[in-house]
Amino acid sequence: MRRESRQKIRETLVSFPSLFWLSLFFIVPTLFVFAIALKPANPYGGIGSGWTWDNLRSLVSPNYLAVAWRTLWISLLSAALCIVLAIPIGYYLARVTARWKGFFLMLIIVPFWTNFLIRIFAWKVLLHPEGAIKKALAFSGLIGPQTSLLYNAGAVVLVTVYTFLPFTILPIYAAAEKFDFQLLEAARDLGARRLQAFARIFLPGISRGLITAVLFVFIPALGSYVIPDIVGGPSGEMIGNKIAQRVFVDRNLPQASALSVVLILSVLAPLVTVLVLQRKREKPESLL
């Protein structure tokens, strides 16, 4: 009994620094966001006194709804494109010899050592009206000279895919690495066509990697701010841009909080769904 209570004290002591820090700088700030969403703004860019539903009510405007809808479809489309590209790459990496595997993994990771802003900037240059891609496409007649590649939702999807694709390749590759490829051969021997074996044996076999991969794009994409800010223009704006505008342009912190509440809830929804589904099957730690 005494030994147990000593153990308890030791546990509390070792856990204290991180519990304290993350409570103060992660839990409490999140609660503040919820609280401030219910506060009125004051004219000096601060937070007024009293409570109000106005910030939340004003979210139901056509403007915000359009942005919310765009945020959702851009994130879904980006996640879908990342998965479609990452599956064949994960499959290839899992089957190639060890030396080539290391080489290709290195090649995939290296570009992402560069700063995030710089990669987005590189795309801005590429998609620019004077840039290489625009010129090539216009020359080949695929697009008219007036078509703009930059400052639209399409550019946001492209750069989002570029940014998050490695984070989808890695979990899919990790899952494919554990997959027993003899199962595919067995399926073929039993008369399955190639695509059939792929869709009914391989994809279910790597389902855990697929789920992780989808979350790795979908969740950060929902909260995207820099990508639409640099390549999106007004027609590519997402919730993140609206939050930033409320903070930096018209300094309405309660309105920014209300928007953040929506974002928090929409991030939690897919996360909780997956965690609940996974807990039913196994321990939740395996999400990483």
Partner 1 sequence: MRRSRFPFIVTLAVLFFFYLPIIILIVNSFNASRFESGWQGFSLMWYKRLFHEPEIWRAAKNSLLIAASATAVSLIIGTTAAIALHRFARSRLQRFHFGLVYTPLVVPEILMGISLLMLFVAAGVELGLFTIFLAHVTFCISFVAMTVLARLQDFDESIVEAAQDLGAGWWATTRRVFLPMLLPGLIAGGLLAFTLSIDDFVITFFVAGPGSTTLPIRVYSMIKYGSPPLINALSTLLLVLTFTAVAASQTLSRSRR
Q: Check residue 269 for interaction with partner 1 (CB under 8 A).
A: no
* Interacting residues of 241 by C-beta distance below 8 A, sequence separation 6+: 67, 225, 228, 229, 232
Q: Is the dihedral of CA 22, 23, 29, 34 positive or negative?
A: positive
CA geometry: angle 128, 68, 217, nearest 5 deg: 65
Pick one of 52, 64, 92, 137: the residue that binds partner 1 (CB under 8 A). 92
Q: Check residue 25 for interaction with partner 1 (CB under 8 A).
A: yes
Q: Check residue 12 for interaction with partner 1 (CB under 8 A).
A: yes
Pick one of 18, 140, 146, 182: the residue that binds partner 1 (CB under 8 A). 18
Pick one of 192, 252, 264, 278: the residue that binds partner 1 (CB under 8 A). 264
Q: Check residue 32 for interaction with partner 1 (CB under 8 A).
A: yes
| Cα first-last separation, the chain | 36
Q: Which residue stretches of 37-61 are H helix?
A: 54-57
The 10 Å Cβ neighbour count of residue 68 is 17
CA torsion, ordered 161, 163, 165, 168, to nearest 10 deg: -120
CB 124 to partner 1: min, Å: 7
CB 224 to partner 1: min, Å: 8
CA–CA separation, 3 vs 227, rounded Å? 55
Interface stretch with partner 1, choices 57-65, 117-125, 138-146, 201-209 (CB under 8 A): 117-125
Say if CB 179 and CB 173 are below 8 A apart: no
Scan residues 208-247 and list those touching partner 1 (CB under 8 A).
Answer: 215, 219-220, 222-226, 230, 240, 243-244, 247
Q: Check residue 80 for interaction with partner 1 (CB under 8 A).
A: no
Interface stretch with partner 1, choices 50-58, 141-149, 201-209, 250-258 (CB under 8 A): 250-258
Q: Check residue 165 for interaction with partner 1 (CB under 8 A).
A: yes
Q: Check residue 19 for interaction with partner 1 (CB under 8 A).
A: yes
DSSP string, 218-267: HHHHHT--HHIIIII-GGG--HHHHHHHHHHTS--HHHHHHHHHHHHHHH
CA–CA separation, 21 vs 232, rounded Å? 36
Among residues 114 and 147, whose Cβ is nearest to partner 1? Answer: 114
Q: Check residue 138 for interaction with partner 1 (CB under 8 A).
A: no
CB 28 to partner 1: min, Å: 6
CB 210 to partner 1: min, Å: 16
